Chain A
Amino acid sequence: MPAHSHQYLLISLSFNKDNSFFESYHQILIDSILFLIGLMIVLLTYILIALIIKRRNERLRKRFSRITDLLIQRAIFYDEEELPELSLGVSRLLKIKLFRCLLTEEILKAKRNFSGSAANNLRLLYLECNLDYDSQKKLHSSKWNVKAQGIQELAEMGQQKAFDQIFELTNNKNEQVRIEAQNAVVIFSGLNGLNFLDFLTYPLSDWQQIKLIGELGDATEESSNYIKKWIGSSNNSVVIFALKLAARYHHFELHDRVTLCLSHPSAEVRNHAIKTLKEIFDESTAASLVKLYNNEGLNNQLEILDVLKEIGTESEIPFLMNEFQKEDHKIKLAAGRAIANIKGIEILESSEFAPQYPWDQIIQQIKGELTE
């Protein structure tokens, strides 16, 4: 075979090989483009359908809100005896889920502004339209936000019949559900509702404690026993909450129980025990706090000095004068305040270090605070 034919054969062979590679690459490219176009069409269709549904729902909401407004006004404008009957048209609309959701929203919003007979009428409207069944159904939802919403609705509408179901949720793994359930049981039953503290395994946040205390009414006969039980809880946040309750209700009979908390392993619990003793102190409290002082960190030491300012006596003056000479300025200031409150500013002014810095500045500051 001539050489150029052989070369020609080699070239055409290699060209064929490249050609098939190019074709398959070309095919992959086309397939990818078609796939992407298909995906875009699907996405656009999805977006279009979602927009259509959204617009439809907005139109429906607008139409429905004219009717829900009239229903709410009917409840608020009239006293119970004057209430007109619900029309047949409304009964038909109540079969539509969107209408029921909107009506529930509007009733809750209105109820936050009104009390007395207007609030009662709103509650009656909620029951008349069987919206309580929707709220109760939400308690069984797998979605935490729906559950929490159901709890809130039932609590706001005073649906005590749901108490047991809600109580079970007070130790739920989801924080929001827990918070709503805890608030609800306290709204329903006051201090008795706090029985969930017996088995609460999750921490009770500071904010939640403030909210619960805000919901609680006056102390009851049993409150002291409940609080005593919770002070012994293994959940530190429950102990702290119980200490706050003991202080709020001035349960002097719990003094010894609270004093035991001064040897609690948690510094935070000890801190709150110190604060509580300010409200329920007796003649031995100041001495107990002084005894504890040296074993505590700065935070708790300052707390003790703050409490001694209120409950300290002449017996504590030597200890306080000693602290007034310590290096830490915060300690100096706190001790100085306590001394001035117990025995008067003169004892500080007449001390040997009064003319020296920083005591002179501290004494001036305390003097200024006293004149205010």
Chain B
Amino acid sequence: MQLENNLFLMKILIAEDDLLMLKTLEFRLKKEGHEVILTKDGMEALEKIEESNPDLIITDIMMPYSSGLEIAGAVRQKYNTPIIILSGMGQENVVLEAFKLGVDDYITKPFSPNELIVRVRRFMFANTSK
């Protein structure tokens, strides 16, 4: 889907310690036209979230310093920024915990990058009403 209206495009923060995953997400999201901020651990992610106020956060769970769930909890205390969890942990209790903390979507690995893009697009339209 080629978008004409730049208002749909977002500033997306990615928190992921796997370099290949980070590069893949960056490539695919930039291809969609979004601005992408990359962070490699939980601490860096929390700092960049404060600095840059992204429109969407995509985060892994297992990361150095702060986990994705801790990031979600911290973000929800201050902001309504949509959060997508992208994790290899698919256990029911973890998924439920994530939704209790207020995340908006949960994708388990292995995942399809095409599917992620479609899910990100949902938030693009929500972004226009901000």
Residues in A lying within 8 Å of B, measured CB to CB: 69, 72-73, 76-77, 79, 109-119
B24 touches A73 (CB 8 A): yes
Q: Is there a chain A Cβ closer than 8 Å to B92's Cβ?
A: no
B114 touches A76 (CB 8 A): no
Q: Is there a chain A Cβ closer than 8 Å to B119's Cβ?
A: no
Q: In the assembled complex, which residues on chain B have CB atoms less than 8 Å from the CB atom of A113?
A: 18, 20-21, 88, 109-111
Q: Which residue of A lies closest to B115 (CB)?
A: A116
B112 touches A117 (CB 8 A): yes
Question: Measured between alpha carbons, how far is A79 from B115 in the docked complex, in Å?
Answer: 12
Contact of B28 among A69, A77, A111, A119 (CB under 8 A): A77
B20 touches A76 (CB 8 A): yes
- The interface on chain B, measured as residues whose beta carbon lies within 8 A of the other chain's beta carbons, has a size of 15
A222 nearest CB across to chain B (Å): 29
Q: In the assembled complex, which residues on chain A have CB atoms less than 8 Å from the CB atom of B23?
A: 73
Q: Is there a chain A Cβ closer than 8 Å to B113's Cβ?
A: yes
Interface of A: prevailing SS: helix
A-B pairs with CB below 8 Å: how many? 48
Residues in B lying within 8 Å of A, measured CB to CB: 18, 20-21, 23-24, 27-28, 88, 109-115
Q: In the assembled complex, which residues on chain A have CB atoms less than 8 Å from the CB atom of B24?
A: 73, 76-77, 114, 118
Q: When A73-B20, A76-B20, A113-B20 are in contact, do A118 and B113 touch as well, CB less than 8 Å?
A: yes
Question: Measured between alpha carbons, how far is A116 from B119 in the docked complex, in Å?
Answer: 15
Q: In the assembled complex, which residues on chain B have CB atoms less than 8 Å from the CB atom of A77?
A: 24, 27-28
A115 touches B111 (CB 8 A): yes
A115 touches B110 (CB 8 A): yes
Question: Measured between alpha carbons, how far is A72 from B21 in the docked complex, in Å?
Answer: 11
Contact of A117 among B21, B27, B88, B114 (CB under 8 A): B114
A115 touches B20 (CB 8 A): no
A119 nearest CB across to chain B (Å): 7
Q: List 28 A-B contacts (CB under 8 A).
A: A69-B20, A72-B20, A73-B24, A73-B27, A76-B20, A76-B113, A77-B27, A79-B114, A110-B20, A111-B110, A112-B109, A113-B18, A113-B21, A113-B88, A113-B111, A114-B24, A114-B110, A114-B111, A114-B113, A115-B110, A115-B111, A116-B111, A116-B112, A116-B113, A117-B112, A118-B24, A118-B112, A118-B114
